[in-house]
Amino acid sequence: MIELLRTNDPVVISYIEALMRDAGLSFFVADQNMSIMEGSLGVLPRRVLVAEDDVEQARRILTDAGFADEMRDG
């Protein structure tokens, strides 16, 4: 899986999950359970990962949704 984006904002994560799900793309949000270790402070970012075969489509979707500046290179 390829990392597309990192954020501490749960609303952004939820929105991106909906975009990926609606497009039928394989994705995973890593580090969601880290809030237990950090005391639910929201300090540690969550990572949105997508299947390698879906990277280009996922990048287009995120760009169209206004997340081009937040996406990770690679």
Regions of the chain where pLDDT drops below 50: none
**DSSP codes joined into one string, the chain:** -EEEEEES-HHHHHHHHHHHHHHT--EEEETGGGHHHHTS-S-SPEEEEE-GGGHHHHHHHHHHTT-GGGBPP-
Q: Any idea what the CATH number is for the domain that residue 20 is in?
A: 3.30.70.790
- What confidence score (pLDDT) does residue 67 get? 92
Please state the domain count of the chain: 1
What is the pTM (predicted TM-score) of this model? 0.81
The domain containing residue 53 runs over which residues? 2-70
Residues 34-53 have pLDDT tens digits of 655 655 555 688 899 999 99
